[in-house]
Structure 1
Amino acid sequence: MNSVSDTALNKALIAVFTVFGLNGLVFASWAARIPAAAEDLGVGAAGVGLLLLFSAIGSVAALPLAGSVAQRIGTAGTVRAGGITTSAASLVIAAGLHLGSIPLAGAGLLVFGVGIAGWDVAMNLEGADVERRLGRNIMPRFHAAFSAGSFIGALIGAALSFAGVPLSLHLLGILTVVCVVVLIVPRNFLQLPHPAQAPAEGDAPAAVSRFGAWREGRTLLIGVVVLGAALTEGAANDWVAKATVDGLGTSESAGAMMFAVFVAAMTLTRWFGAKLIDRMGRVPALRICMSASLAGLLLFVFAPNVGLAAAGAVLWGIGAALGFPMGMSAAGEDPVHAAGRVSVVSTIGYMAFFVGPPVLGFLGEHWGVRNALLVVGAAMLVSVVFAPAAAEQKAVPKPA
């Protein structure tokens, strides 16, 4: 068993918070200004859905390998590689937007998805390792840092949109920040071999453990729960801004602010929600959250004005807050198999970003974006049904 000093653990804790926050900032820099991207490229809801599909394809292709990469080069190396890849992709996206080239923007989003996927799995693995060593539930707070980064990114996006700053220039500024931070901060990650790299006595080799996770019923069901949670969160990330603009006739900056409202509600719930999980357990917490999310979605879709829609966005954000981090905690409970299981659960969860954008984009063209969001309610119900798969497993270690 590896032990680390309190100082090293605290440094790793701060580093994980920082990397999660930066990841959210990068994501929101794109998500909050999707209407601007649509305008630059001259596409409607279906075209936006197709563009988002490129990013999802990149992520889904990279995620099954991300756990193996993290075991080979470490979580710090994987975060660095993901951040640099994402930055390079942002350059390509910016060029595509500047030139009005859909193929170039799509290619950039494809690579963007690859970089974000590796970064995502690595930071969740490092977060699960820190959480285990701390001995308390902190994964929702890491995801709160992601949401806080998203909130800041959304506010920056709204301000730059209001000021008329081109999205291409916005992305160039963000990638500069990313390059600096991902090269420096991960050096404080736990620089010991990840527990999953060192099989316990009698365990199968690490490679078998990683890919064997695809044959574990509980892991696959956790993936289904995360799939519903990811679609709930991802639909808001991708479409709240545009649904506000198209469905309520607001300005682009007002759409970005609606996205910021959603993210703020999700961030606060993630920060304080760990106590709810500790008190109730994952399964009841998951069911309460997904039910709240469904109520918020319905209010947002049917609201006749911006005020009620904002109230729906708040409730939607509260409900969407804890599903994904609880799924990551459940997948990462056993340190020996964490890399494989987190990779599997992330891959299944990211299918929401693969299927969701084109489906919602297509339906948005015919029903309107707000009405199209109603299909997300079915995913919320699926997560409620399979929530017991994420229950705490208290008997993970170790025979005496």
Structure 2
Amino acid sequence: MSQTTPTSTRSRRELLAWRNAVFVIFILSGLSLASWVARIPGVRDGLELGKDPSAVGLLILGMSIGAIVGLAASSPILIRFGPHKGMVAGLFIVSVGLVLVGVGASVAHSVPVVAIGLILLGFGNGMVDVMMNVEGTAVEREIGKTLMPLMHACFSLGTVIGAGVGAAAAALGIDVSWHLAVIAVVVAVSIVIAVRYVPREADLGDEVAEKPAVPFRQRMRDGLAVWADWRLILIGVVMLGMAFGEGSANDWISLAVVDGHDQSNSTGALVFGFFVAAMTLGRVLGGPIVDRIGRVLAIRITAGLGAAGLLIFILGGPLWLVVIGTVLWGFGVSLGFPLGMSAAADGAANPAARVSAVAIIGYCAFLVGPPVIGFLGKEFGLLNALYLVLVLLVAAFVAAGAVRPSTTAAPAAAADPAS
């Protein structure tokens, strides 16, 4: 019961090259972010910020602000230039940001230089996050198989690679500036190579020679018009619940285990590892399962598992029960975000604007959710604050019908060209 229908006249080789190029772009995004995170202690020491976490917190806030601005700018940039140019520009900005962070920390020892670098890193990644999802839904639609969960697993793979390389660089005493400069070069060179295998698509906003260009104002009006679609808003509800659940877990699970369940710091880190592993496994295995049971049932099953797991986690008990709750929570939020992207793209005109809209909802929830949980945790306790996530997962369960494949989707081809 495939959720996508193959619509391409391209050869199997062309489609697989396109798919693999998008996989690489997702990996590069994860690699760049994790490379900075892995060297936060070295950046802090290079800036002589001492042990006060608030100073580093302000730097991270700068990156978050840059990311939100990048998300907001992604739609008009996408409409004006298309994802082909946009993804290259976004990852070039990321590369410049990485270089500035390294130089600011290890050479100039300048907080403003590092802050500017982090703002650029956040801005570029905010841009490319939306555009790589737009491109991912396009290749998924043409191949006719559910690929978005695996693409998001590639992002997770990039974070694992970035964290591992960063840890090795720190252990070997490699200077932060050299480490981040090398990563920047890898990112910049890799995107130039990868984008060569990404075809230009007029439907996504790319310039295509054989088709007349649509005026920018008209494209902007068409892009804003998608926000009047109630189905798209309900898909955004699914994205909101899942992204809020994922972002809150990333920032608060370890601390909730330590402060809420009276465990050690190392146990908190270990439990977080169970969450990440469960979420990544769910994305790796999710595509074929979704093609068999359908998007709606997949969302309802995973949202139900996530809500049950989160409730177990909040109520607590023996550590093994908390771990079970964590694993269910991880599985529960693994598919909603990528499947929401797929649902936004199919069966309607202007897929790029639709994917951009729900991506902005999802990523804003991912960025804004953790601070909201922190504020509520201060007032009501961290475990009690997580009930907000539970409510949003229930909302995602209720809204799951919106991700059903559109009846106006293109007719299926005779056979899957990439199978």
TM-score range, shorter chain: 0.7 to 0.9
Mean CA deviation greater in 73-82 or 5-14: 73-82
Alignment match, 1:297: 310
Matched residue, 2:139: 130
- Secondary structure in 2 matching 1:262: helix
Letter in 2 for 1:237: N
Which of 240, 250, 265 is equivalent to 1:250? 265
Give the distance between the partners of 2:392 and 2:405, measured in 1 at CA.
Answer: 22
Alignment partner of 1:28 is 2:1: no
Q: Is the 8 A contact 1:270 1:322 kept in 2?
A: yes
State which of 387, 396, 400 in structure 2 corresponds to 1:383.
396
Match of 1:55 in 2: 63
User: Superposition pairs for residues 31-46 of structure 1, below 5 Å?
Assistant: 42-44=51-53
Contact 1:24 1:147 in 2 (8 A): yes
Q: Distance in 2 between matches of 1:215 and 1:14?
A: 34
Give the letter aligned to residue 89 of structure 1. G
Q: Is the 8 A contact 1:55 1:109 kept in 2?
A: yes
- Among residues 247, 262, 265, which one is paired with 2:275 in the alignment? 262
Give the match for residue 83 of structure 1.
91
1:395 aligns with 2:408: yes
> Among the aligned pairs, what percent are the same residue?
41
User: CA shift at 1:212, angstroms?
Assistant: 0.9
Distance 1:196 1:180, change over 3 A: closer
Give, as a single letter, the amino acid of the residue that structure 2 aligns with 1:110.
Answer: I
Task: State the distance in 1 between where 2:268 and 2:56 align.
Answer: 15
**Structure 1 residue ranges without an equivalent (≥5):** none
- Equivalent in the alignment of 1:9: 15
Matched, 1:222 2:235: yes
* 1:139-154 mapped onto 2 (5 Å cutoff): 139-154=148-163
Aligned mates of 1:28, 1:90 — CA distance in 2: 11
| 2:74 counterpart (66, 72, 75) | 66
Q: Separation in 2 of the partners of 1:163 and 1:35?
A: 14
Match of 2:224 among 194, 211, 218: 211
Instruction: Give the deviation of 1:163 after TM superposition.
Output: 7.4
Tell me, yes or no, if the aligned pair for 2:234 and 2:402 is still in contact at 8 Å: yes
**TM-score, normalised by the number of residues in structure 1:** 0.81
Q: Secondary structure at the match of 1:137?
A: coil
In 1, Cα distance between the equivalents of 2:340 and 2:251?
21
Q: Which moved more, 1:21-30 or 1:305-314?
A: 305-314
Match status 1:187 vs 2:196: yes
Query: Shift in Å at residue 244 of structure 1?
Result: 5.7
- Unaligned ranges ≥5, structure 2: 1-6, 412-419
- Cα distance in 1 between the residues matched to 2:123 and 2:195: 19
Cα separation, 2, equivalents of 1:154 and 1:33: 9
Match of 2:294 in 1: 281
SS at match of 1:265: helix
Amino acid at match of 2:136: G
Amino acid at match of 1:362: F
Question: Are the structure 2 counterparts of residues 296 and 35 from structure 1 closer, same or farther at C-alpha, using a change threshold of 3 Å?
Answer: farther
Following TM superposition, by how much is the alpha carbon of 1:133 offset from its aligned partner in structure 2, in angstroms? Answer: 1.1
Q: Secondary structure at the match of 1:393?
A: coil
Q: Secondary structure at the match of 1:224?
A: helix
Correspondence for 2:414: none
Aligned-residue CA RMSD in angstroms? Answer: 3.7
Q: Report how many residues are paired.
A: 391
Q: Find the partner of 1:333 among 342, 346, 365.
A: 346
